[in-house]
Every structure is written in structure tokens, then in C-alpha cells.
Amino acid sequence: MQLKRPESVLVVIRDEHNQVLIMQREDDANFWQSVTGTIEEGEIPLNAAYRELAEETGIALPKSTHPIVDCRLVSQYEIRPAWLYRYPKGSQFNNEYVFSVKVPIGLPIVLTEHTDFEWTSKQEAMQKVWSRSNRDAIALFVPD
């Protein structure tokens, strides 16, 4: 298994009515989240955001009409103890670059790493997502 870099992206997805897409992780039924993923070696965070969005949801919209917005926020969080084996020895914290994107209503979602998804209100999404950094990103970057 290739170890993950302790740098990742978080992409908050909302539709034209500010409904937020959240997904249920395959490995933890209580863990709901936005799109997340490790930044690969030599990859810039924005490119990782586009790649992860397409990989996890099947959403691959033209950048010219539906740009992913760099929220200019980097959250740091402690890596869950159960996941430390995925990272280089001595890793304790992950730096997460936050992005957001507005997509058309009714896009088909193709899950590859999750078991379920929901379009919810901002408040419902904030209550359901597992991580504080995900909750904070939704609070800051999804309009009321």
C-alpha cells in the first residue's frame, strides 16, 4: 500500500438552490462528508480538487462554466487514530485545502468510494457531516 501524504482537498458541492451534497463513507456508516482526497505527489491542490470531484461523484463539468473556487482556507486536523497506518510514520496532522463548487440541479451522481449520498440543506449538512473542518467549510462557503 502506498502511504498517503498528509495533505488533502475538501470540495463542498452545492446546487443552484444551495442544497449541499454529502456522501456516506463505505468504511464507516456514521461518517458523512463532502468530497475529500489526498493531494498526489507533484499535484497542486486545485487540480486535486477537480480530480477528486470527478473520481468520487462522476461530476466533470467544464471549468469555464462551473469553476471550482479556491476558498483560500487550509484547515488542519488530527488524523483519526484508526487511519494513521495509511500515512508516513510520525504523521499526526493533515492539512486540508478547502474548495467549493456550484453545480446544476439534477446532475447524476456516480459513487465510487461511498455507499449513499444526499442533497440536504446547509443546516442538515452541517449536522450530519462527521468532521469539524467539513462543518466549518459548509458554514463559511454555502450561502444561507
Task: Enumerate the known binding-site residues for Mg(2+).
Answer: 52, 56, 113
| Contact call for residues 119 and 30 (beta carbons, < 8 A) | no
| Binding-site residues for substrate | 4, 25, 36, 131
Instruction: Give kind and range of the element (H or E) at residue 120.
Output: strand 114-120
Instruction: Give kind and range of the element (H or E) at residue 75.
Output: strand 69-78
| Grid coordinates of 139 | 458554514
| Binding-site residues | 4, 25, 36, 52, 56, 113, 131
